[in-house]
Amino acid sequence: MPTIEFNQDNKPSLEELRQLLQASGENYDPIEELLQLERQLVQLEQTYNLTSAEFYQRYQAGEMGDEVKFVAWVGRYRLYLRLKKTISNSLKMVLAGSPPPSLAA
């Protein structure tokens, strides 16, 4: 999903913010987001020589600590799993002839 950053010098009006959020939602590509998350996870896995699944198990067991970088890894991994499941379920529904659920859920 695109990143929109603001600071004191470029704060949008409320209406401009609404328009930006609407435009970013219209251009949202869940497959691209999944691939981006996967690339980020691969980098972390290579850095720490652990798969994300192994890391997550160890994190859940309290073996990894609570450093910000590990909490962020957990967040990315959970998002990756949720998005992958949503896309998979949507594809199954499309193949079965049912309308796909909203990806925003």
Instruction: Kindly report the pTM of this predicted structure.
Output: 0.68
Name the DSSP class of 98: P
Residue extents of the structural domains in the chain: 35-105
Asked whether 21 and 63 are in contact (CB, 8 A), the reply is no
Express as a percent the part of the chain with pLDDT over 90.
Answer: 50
Strand (E) or helix (H) holding 40:
helix 30-48
Buried b (16+ CB within 10 A) or exposed e, 66-94: eeeebeebbebbeebeebeebbeebeeee
SS3 state at 57? helix
pLDDT digits (tens, 9 = 90+) for 55-64: 999 999 999 9
Residue 33: name the closest of 5, 74, 2 by CA: 2
pLDDT digits (tens, 9 = 90+) for 58-101: 999 999 999 999 999 999 999 999 999 988 888 887 777 766 56
The mean pLDDT value for 16-37 works out to: 78
